[in-house]
Structure 1
C-alpha cells in the first residue's frame, strides 16, 4: 500500500539532507546511507508488524488542520473531525499502541457554529459533526521532563538538532516548537517510527506555510549507525539512552562526533547517589529492565564526559521518577513503574536497588 504520509516525510528528509550537504559535505554520507536505512524499517523480515503499522498510517483520514501547537505540554493538532473520522482515527491510533512518550491531542474542542448547516443530516458523517478531540495519554508525562530540561538549554532558535533515542518524537516536536531550524530524530523502533508518522500525518495537513510543518524528521536507526564525526548539529540530545548502552564511553564519543565545535550536548540518564567512583552495574535487571548496564553517580558521569573531551560540564537537574510521571494508561496498558518498585518500600526497585533517579547534564564540545 502506497503511504503518502511516509513518502512525503522521506522526500522532505532527503531534501533537508541535500540542502545541508551543500555547506556540510559530511551530510553526503548520510544521503548515501539513507535509502538502506529507510528500506530496512519497512522490511517485514526485520519487523513483522511493519506492514500493519504502515497500513494504519495510510488509512488515517485526509483532513485540513487549522493549526499545530508544538510549544505546549500537549502536542496538539487543531483539526475538525467528524464523528466518523474521529472513530476511524481513534481505532487506527489504537493499533499503534503502546504509546509511551507524549502526550498528544488530535482534534478540536471548539466549533464555529456559523459553519453548521442546520439542514445537515446528523448521520451523514459530514465534517460539520464536531466530535471531542482524541487525547493520547501516554505512559510517560514527557512534558514534565521537557519542563525540567528546557530552562537550561541554549537558545534552540535557528539551530540544527539531533535527538538520539527520540521515541515517538514528542521531544523532537518540542524542539521544533522552540524554534529549531531542523530536528532529526534517530531511533530504531519500528513502532515509534510509525507513531511519529501518524502524528506527522496531521501536522502535514496544516497550512503548507505553517512555520514548523517540515522541520522535524525521523531516521529509524540507532546512533551507532550514523556516520561518525559528522559534526552536523548545533545541539545533540540523548535522553534515556546512556544506561541502555553496554559501552557508555563509546556512546558519549559518538554523541560528541555529531556536534559542531562549541555545540551543546543535553544528556539525561539514570543516576545513583555517590562520589566520583560510584557506579551501579545491575547483576540482572533494574526496575525489571534487562538492558540496563551502567548507572553512574552525577560526579562519575561528569568525569566520564570530561574524559571523552567535553567541556563546561554541569548538572542542571536531578529528579526522582514518580509513579505520576510514568504510569499505566488506556494507551499503555502494560505494567509500568509502580509494578517495578518494592511494594513495601517504593524508594527501592523490586530488585532492591534505589528507585529511578534521573540527572540532566549539559556540556559543550
Structure 2
C-alpha cells in the first residue's frame, strides 16, 4: 500500500527536480529512494497512512508562510474540523512547528519559529535557488522558506512519521516543497548542485563530524551557502566535549565543539566567509512537552538544583553559522 502513496506524494517533486540544477542527479536519487521505499519496515506506517487518507478535503482560502505558525485558512464545517483534528492527533508526536490548520493549532515540542527568526535575517535570497534541508523533520523550515519561491525546495528526512506529517500539512498549504525519505549518507557525494544547504541539529549525531561537513560542502555549487546549526560548548579553538553517555537525555550525541573549533573545522575543509550568526541557550520556552508531543522534553532533562543537564553538563547552546563554498 505504501508504494502507491509515495509515488503519488513524490510525483510533483520529481517534476520540480526536472526543472532545476539537480536534474542531472534525478535518476540516481530516484533509484536510491525506490530502494529505501522497497525496504521500509515500520510497523506504524499503515496507521499513519490511514490517518493521512482520512484527512478531510477542505477549501483553502489563503495560506500564511511568514507567520510563526505555518497557516492554512478556510471555513471547514464542524465535522471537517473535528475530523482534521482527530487524524492529525494520530500522527503524534509532533516535534517541529507550530502549524495552524484552520481551527486546529498544532502546538509542537519545538517552537521552531524562534530558531527561524534567528536565521532568516541572514539568509541569502532564496528565490529561483535550489535549496536542500538535511534532516528536515516534518518540513516546517521548508515551508517557511517556500515564501521566497525557490526553484527547488528539497528536504531529506529518514523518519517516516515526519514525512507523513509533511504530506498532511502540505495537503492544505500546497507548497512546491518536497521531502525524500533519505539519510545524508544516501546523498551522492559531490553533487555540487545546491545554492543553499541547511544542516540543523544533525552534526552532533555524527560520529565523523568533519566527514559530514565535507559531504555538505560537496553538495554546494561554487560560492554556494551553508547554514549550519548545532550544539556547541564554551571554550577556545581546542575545546570539544564528547559526552560519556547521554547528553540532556539524548542518545547518539558525539562531538560538541566550541564555536571557535567549529569555525576551525569549516576552515580546514576549505569553506570561506565563515560567520557566526547566533549563539543561544535552548530554554524550556523554546522546547517543551505539549498536547501534541506528550513525551518528556527539555524541562525534564534539567537538574533544578544546578541548572545543568541531569548528566551534569551545561545546558544546550546552539550556534548558527553561515559559510560559503
Q: The TM-score by the shorter chain falls in which range?
A: over 0.9
Partner of 1:301: 262
1:172 paired residue among 125, 142, 162: 142
Q: For 1:25 and 1:91, locate their aligned partners in 2 and report how far apart those are by CA, in whole Å.
A: 42
Q: For 1:88 and 1:27, locate their aligned partners in 2 and report how far apart those are by CA, in whole Å.
A: 37
The reply on whether 1:27 has 2:26 as its aligned counterpart is yes
Q: For 1:177 and 1:151, locate their aligned partners in 2 and report how far apart those are by CA, in whole Å.
A: 14
Q: How far off is 1:263 after superposition?
A: 0.2
Q: How far off is 1:7 after superposition?
A: 4.3
Partner of 1:15: 15
Q: How far off is 1:37 after superposition?
A: 3.5
Residues 223-242 of structure 1 correspond to what in structure 2 (within 5 A)? 223-242=184-203
The reply on whether 1:147 has 2:108 as its aligned counterpart is no
1:127-160 deviations in Å (ceiling 9; x for gaps): xxxxxx1000000010000000111111112211
Residue pair 1:262, 1:364 contacting (<8 A) in 2 also: yes
**RMSD (Å) for aligned C-alpha atoms:** 1.7
The reply on whether 1:37 has 2:36 as its aligned counterpart is yes
SS across alignment from 2:19: helix
Partner of 1:90: 85
Partner of 1:326: 287
Q: How far off is 1:18 after superposition?
A: 2.7
The reply on whether 1:270 has 2:236 as its aligned counterpart is no
SS across alignment from 2:55: coil
Partner of 2:153: 183
1:61 paired residue among 49, 56, 61: 56
Q: For 1:8 and 1:80, locate their aligned partners in 2 and report how far apart those are by CA, in whole Å.
A: 27
The reply on whether 1:101 has 2:100 as its aligned counterpart is no
Q: For 1:95 and 1:148, locate their aligned partners in 2 and report how far apart those are by CA, in whole Å.
A: 31
2:69 paired residue among 66, 74, 93: 74
Q: For 1:340 and 1:2, locate their aligned partners in 2 and report how far apart those are by CA, in whole Å.
A: 36
Residue pair 2:17, 2:152 contacting (<8 A) in 1 also: no
Q: How far off is 1:309 after superposition?
A: 1.6
Q: With structure 2 as the length reference, what TM-score do the two structures score?
A: 0.96
Residue pair 2:99, 2:105 contacting (<8 A) in 1 also: yes
Q: For 2:31 and 2:303, locate their aligned partners in 1 and report how far apart those are by CA, in whole Å.
A: 49
The reply on whether 1:162 has 2:161 as its aligned counterpart is no
SS across alignment from 2:235: coil
Q: For 1:57 and 1:231, locate their aligned partners in 2 and report how far apart those are by CA, in whole Å.
A: 35
Q: How far off is 1:99 after superposition?
A: 0.4
> Which one is further off, 322-331 or 172-181?
172-181
1:191-250 deviations in Å (ceiling 9; x for gaps): 11111111011123xxxxxxxx3x200001111111111112100000111001111011
> Which one is further off, 337-346 or 264-273?
337-346
Gaps of 5+ in 1: 108-132, 205-212
Q: For 1:202 and 1:27, locate their aligned partners in 2 and report how far apart those are by CA, in whole Å.
A: 27
Gaps of 5+ in 2: none
Q: How far off is 1:16 after superposition?
A: 1.9
Q: For 2:177 and 2:187, locate their aligned partners in 1 and report how far apart those are by CA, in whole Å.
A: 18
Q: For 2:38 and 2:214, locate their aligned partners in 1 and report how far apart those are by CA, in whole Å.
A: 27
Q: With structure 1 as the length reference, what TM-score do the two structures score?
A: 0.85
1:75-122 deviations in Å (ceiling 9; x for gaps): 001122111111111111111001010000111xxxxxxxxxxxxxxx
Residues 335-346 of structure 1 correspond to what in structure 2 (within 5 A)? 335-346=296-307
SS across alignment from 1:26: helix
> Which one is further off, 176-185 or 186-195?
176-185
1:53-89 deviations in Å (ceiling 9; x for gaps): 1111011011221112112111001122111111111
Partner of 1:354: 314
Q: How far off is 1:30 after superposition?
A: 1.8
Q: For 1:343 and 1:313, locate their aligned partners in 2 and report how far apart those are by CA, in whole Å.
A: 36
- Using a 3 Å threshold, how does the CA distance of structure 1 residues 39 and 15 change in structure 2: closer, same or farther? farther
> Which one is further off, 187-196 or 29-38?
29-38
Q: How far off is 1:6 after superposition?
A: 4.9
Q: For 1:162 and 1:99, locate their aligned partners in 2 and report how far apart those are by CA, in whole Å.
A: 22
